[in-house]
Structure 1
Amino acid sequence: MPLTLDALTILDAIERKGSFARAAEELARAPSSLTYAVQHIEAGLDVLLFDRSGHRARFTPAGRVLLEEGRALLAAANALVHKTRQVAGGWETSFTIAVEGILPVALLLPLLDAFYQLDQATEVKLRHEVLAGGWDALAAGRADLVIAGGDAPAGGGIRTRALGRIEFVFCVAPQHPLARAKKPLSQTDIAAHRAVVIADTARNLPLRSAGWLQQQPRLTVADLPSKLAAQQAGLGVGSLPRWLADREVAAGRLAACEWAGGNPHETLHLAWRSGEAGRALEWWTRALSQPGVLAEVLDAD
């Protein structure tokens, strides 16, 4: 006979309650009907699930395997029911947020905790994208919502909301020659020194460059922690977001240099595809737009 979820539910109840009688009580069934149901399962599988030689029936090794594996199936079935109800209620089954690589994902964790309090089954995926990579991920459907710097790609189909500006500070290792400069640094001063840059993660859009000059030698790394480590080791120079630069300079691990013309800034945008709808998108768009969420990394007003 085909194994049913009802059969697995019966076995689960018997094991948890410790007896057929207590399991029958929990399932609101007569003990005799439960006994018959178990015998029917054993006959259909041609397997003995219980050892009845003692005072109390106990699971055989085969019965124990069916019980444990069956619980996984019961959990999957319950999750499927829950997810189906969530989708019917307007929740996405999965939702991907791409965060600009210069931002700490930790900023989103309190929001993620609040989101999970809604008791819904949307699978949230957080990922870092760099430079044009966030826009690329959004346009290609690899992300549903992005926090990205710069401007949206031409062609429309994307809605944006400005979140604020982020300032960049030019930093070098304390022992680096530029750390001893007595004047604001010009492009000529910087050009002779290796730049540490994070690779743009865009796959289809034109790659962007940021914080380095075309004539500079450069070391390309994959992420912000790698860039920070390389600059601390004196392997190159470059700009870091102020939230990170201030911390490292205060600790003596880096030295800040003054730019001729002042520190550069970039506007961060929250962006999503036009025409998209869903309760997760609505919730996250509203939550990330709240003042203060990114306050510790953005320029003060």
Structure 2
Amino acid sequence: MSSPRDALTPDSLAMLQVIADTGSFAAAARSLGLVPSALTYRVRQMEDALDVLLFDRRSRQAQPTEAGMELLREGARLLQDIDSLAHRVRRVATGWEPQLTIVTDGVLARGPLFDLVEAFYAIAPPTRLKLREGILNGTLEPLTNGRADLAIGVAVNASNVAGIQLQDLGDLAFILAVAPHHPLAQEVEPISDATLLQHRAIAVADSGLRDTTSVGLLDGQQVLTVDSMAAKIEAQVRGLGYGFLPQGMVRAYEQAGKLVVRQVVRPARSLRVHYAWTTSGHASPGRALQWWLEKLSSPTTRAALLENHQDC
């Protein structure tokens, strides 16, 4: 008796599909150019290997049993996967990566990011894209541990990380923004740290696994910590606290009357962010990564990712 692995070949799975489509062994044999006895023998070999009955032979029609139906469903999926794999392998031989994982910091504008995704798909690459979001160290860590190929919006120091290449994305200016009904909206400007200390701050948690980084918080103040920039803005719009946000991110909310910008005594804070990539030990990036790096080399693209926030 052959093993299930020997019996479940692409040819045998395709043969079962022909039997199910034609409705009889005789019709399937004619379609496949086989004599009926040869076809019946091959089916019996599969049934013996699996120790199941695949077709009900009590009528003149070849009716799949429940086990046969399951094998037909999964077999069709496997055949499609094989075809897809063969297609990807042929395309990868031309220099395209099978998958490109990109991690982006939550401070980036979503619209320009998905403009890039749309433009990438427009060239019909064989590469599958996987997008992830991180905050602070959580943007860099997937790159250093091999779970990402490109990180956009890296705000922590990565200049000394082996195997990582780094380029400037630009500077983010952070400003204080609060809901119109928040007490700080009525305070005399510029607002001192002593006044800020009396109110709850909204902070985004560092999504890194090893390190935690806090930016702009005062010692001893009450803090509501959330896990994304979207949640931070929601909390601030609701008046649950105050927070510093990238200037471009605040603009639409300010125009809609959902947030107001307030001046503070402390010096304006600007954060230099980068994009970084790894070639996973290869001499040069694959074609998908090359495409993204070429787009990121454009000052217009970099500025859009930092400034063109439109969600509100």
Task: Give the TM-score normalised by the residue count of structure 2.
Answer: 0.79
Question: Which one of 273, 284, 293 corresponds to residue 292 of structure 2?
Answer: 284
Matched, 1:38 2:39: yes
Change (3 A) 1:143 1:66: closer
Match of 1:131 in 2: 136
Cα offsets for 1:6-27 (capped at 9, x unmatched): 12123334555778899789x8
Q: CA deviation at 1:270?
A: 1.1
Distance 1:17 1:170, change over 3 A: farther
In the TM superposition, residue 197 of structure 1 has moved relative to its aligned partner by 0.5
Which one of the candidate residues 181, 190, 206 is aligned to 1:184? 190
Q: Please tell me whether the aligned partners of residues 133 and 203 of structure 1 are also in contact (alpha carbons under 8 angstroms).
A: yes
Verify the 8 A CA contact 2:107 2:306 in the aligned structure 1: no
Pairing partner for 2:166 from 160, 169, 193: 160
The 2-side partners of 1:179 and 1:239 are apart by 14
Q: Compared with structure 1, are the counterparts of its residues 52 and 292 closer, same or farther at alpha carbon in structure 2 (3 Å cutoff)?
A: farther
Task: Return the letter of the residue paired with 2:286.
Answer: G
Give yes or no for contact 2:171–2:271 (8 Å, CA) kept in 1. yes
Match of residue 83 from structure 2 = 78
Q: Secondary structure at the match of 1:298?
A: helix
Once residues 50 and 118 of structure 1 are traced to their aligned partners in structure 2, the CA distance between those partners, rounded to angstroms, is: 49
Assess, with a 3 A threshold, how the Cα gap between structure 1 residues 239 and 15 changes in structure 2: closer, same or farther. Answer: same
Q: For structure 1, which runs of at least 5 residues remain unmatched after alignment?
A: none
> C-alpha distance in 2, partners of 1:115/1:15?
40
- Cα separation, 2, equivalents of 1:19 and 1:295: 65
Residues 106-129 of structure 1: CA distance to partner in whole angstroms, max 9, x if unpaired? 533233234345555544221111
Q: 174, 179, 201: which one pairs with 1:173?
A: 179
* TM-score, L = length of structure 1: 0.81
Q: Report how far residue 257 of structure 1 moved.
A: 0.6
Residue deviations 1:116-161 (CA, integer Å, cap 9, x gap): 4555554422111112222233222232211124353352432112
Deviation at 1:104? 4.2
Rate the CA distance shift 1:39–1:266 in 2: closer, same or farther, 3 A. Answer: same
- Cα 1:240–1:68 shift into 2, 3 Å: same
Percent identity for Structure 1 against Structure 2: 37
**SS of aligned partner of 1:107:** helix
Residue pair 1:170, 1:238 contacting (<8 A) in 2 also: yes
Pick the aligned partner of 1:64 from 60, 69, 78. Answer: 69
CA distance in structure 2 between the aligned counterparts of 1:145 and 1:119, rounded to whole angstroms: 20
8 Å Cα contact 1:167/1:298 also seen in 2: no
Which portions of structure 1, spanning 4 or more consecutive aligned residues, are displaced by more than 6 angstroms?
A: 17-25
1:271 equivalent to 2:272? Answer no
Segment drifting more, 224-233 vs 142-151: 142-151
State the distance in 2 between where 1:185 and 1:37 align. Answer: 88
Aligned pairs for 1:93-108 within 5 A: 93-108=98-113
Distance 1:288 1:178, change over 3 A: same
Instruction: Say what the alpha-carbon RMSD is for the aligned residues.
Output: 3.2
Quick one: distance in 1 between partners of 2:27 and 2:167?
Answer: 58
Structure 2, gaps ≥5 residues long: none
Change (3 A) 1:43 1:224: same
Q: Distance in 2 between matches of 1:297 and 1:271?
A: 15
Aligned equivalents of 2:305, 2:92: Cα separation in 1: 35
Distance in 2 between the 1:267 and 1:111 partners?
Answer: 22
